[in-house]
A and B are shown apart, each in its own frame.
Chain A
Amino acid sequence: MSNGIEYEIREMVSNILEVPVEKLTPEVDFFKDLNVDSLKAIEIVAAFEKKYRIIVPEDDIPKIRNLGQLIEYTKNVTS
């Protein structure tokens, strides 16, 4: 299940940011390393919310800066 979620999220983010999956390591910073702007960040959040039918509280959004944190967050809220 966890591996499934990891795969799904990596694919989703890779698709939105147009970054190959192999470059999307858990540590790479969305904002500093991948130049993600606010619009792209909202797009990731919206796609994530739609997929898992979860509303991400606004206060949680700035805490998610890389793929690892996003996967961790997903595991917590879906468990």
Chain B
Amino acid sequence: MKEKRRIVITGLGVIAPNGIGKQEFWQALKEGRSGIKAIKRFDTNEFKCKQAGEIQGFKPDAFLGTKGLRDLERTSRLLCTAAKLAIDDAGLNIDDNNTDDIGVSTGTTLSSIWNVAEFDKGAIHDGPRFTDAALFPGMVMNAASSQVSIRFNIQGFNTTISTGYSSSIDALKYAIDFIKLRRIKAVLVGGVESLSLVNYSGFYRLGFFAGIKGEEISCPFDKRRNGIILGEGAAVVMIEDVEHALERGATIYAHVNGIGNCFDAYRMGKYHPEVTGLKNSIKEAMSNSELGVSDIDYISASANSVPEQDRLETKAIKDVYGSYAYNIPVSSIKSMIGETFSAGGLFQIAASIGSMYKGFIPPTMNYEMRDDECDLDYVPNKSRITRINNVLINNYGPGGNNAAFILSKWN
């Protein structure tokens, strides 16, 4: 039998609404502390909704220094800071000898909208000949990812994946394939989104937010759920070929045990009623892992408090795992950080590494009212102390993009 090429996670950096740095983030999750609060970044007077998982009190100069900071828009600041934390955590020294062996793969979809909007505002107010040239480089989707390469001298490859909700797991899969093909030895895989008036207004106008038709609360799987609360932030992991990691004496957090993604577009903005794509993604991840059904200790859900999303994810889990699904704890950290969209999958990975190392399952907060169609064990309101070896991470949304990832503790 052909020996499986192992890929491991050796570094982690997190800038989350409820914690800056992995320790603060893990502690917040363990305590069930939410980062969802009244928005400060822009005026919400004209909206019925007022909250987001906004990162407040973040000082990028403390991590990145002041030089060159003015060239980085908010998304790049978030991603570069998380990348720095991940590189430092991995203890990987990047220099001219290994720069071509390292890549960057980033999941992001809405990140450049702020710059586009500001640039446009300038064109309207001051005329098209007097726009702010400094905003232009940050208007492209791959700006943040490129800034990571520039700042940390990473020259192997640089890619941005923009597949909406599943972007960061898709970016991870892209990076894994690169390593499997032996074209690269290590990749910084990131997910990032930043809060802006434009994307807030867009989601609001489309009626996606909690608070428009009910209570403004992120309560995945709860009967009162009525929409998302938007979040922002960046999470980055360093993944490596295991030989490379062992050779340099790196500390290994976990190994990539299975991954699958599947596209099942149904209708514009509508979920596939049979949730086929997510089910197939989970099956694919299971089949290319070494695990059986009873090996999954915990499912980190994509549930974001949207009525259809949480119901269909529950259905997918039950359809794939049968009656054993009732034995697997399932929780959603989006009850504490909000829907971070393209960054969601990476935040779930960052949280799950914490689960393995600190021995807890993060709770689904704000869970009070049972819904008969969501009847699994959702770890309500209080983290559960237990040993975690294998986690299934789901990532999906109404756009048709689905991904599932299995993370296993490294022994």
Residues of A that sit less than 8 Å from B by CB: 15-16, 18, 39, 42-43, 45-47, 49-50, 53, 55
Contacts and interface: CB of A to CB of B under 8 A. Distances in A.
B70 A18 contact: yes
Interface of B is mostly: helix
B137 A50 contact: no
Contact of B130 (A18, A42, A43, A50): A50
Given A39-B137, A45-B133, A55-B129, 10 more contacts: A15-B70, A16-B134, A18-B66, A18-B67, A18-B68, A42-B133, A43-B134, A46-B134, A47-B132, A47-B134
B126 to A, nearest CB: 6
Contacts of A16: 70, 134
B158 interface: no
Contacts of A55: 129
Interface in B82-135: 126, 129-134
User: Is the contact region of chain A dominated by helix, strand, or loop, or is it mixed?
Assistant: helix
14 contacts: A15-B70, A18-B66, A18-B70, A39-B137, A42-B133, A43-B133, A43-B134, A45-B133, A46-B130, A47-B132, A47-B133, A50-B130, A50-B132, A53-B130
A17 to B, nearest CB: 10
A10 to B, nearest CB: 17
Contacts of A15: 70
B67 A50 contact: no
B70 A46 contact: no
Contacts of A45: 133
Contacts of B133: 42-43, 45-47
Contacts of B137: 39
Nearest to A53: B130
B122 to A, nearest CB: 8
A49 B68 contact: no
A42 B137 CA distance: 12
A39 to B, nearest CB: 7
Contacts of B130: 46, 49-50, 53
Nearest to B134: A43
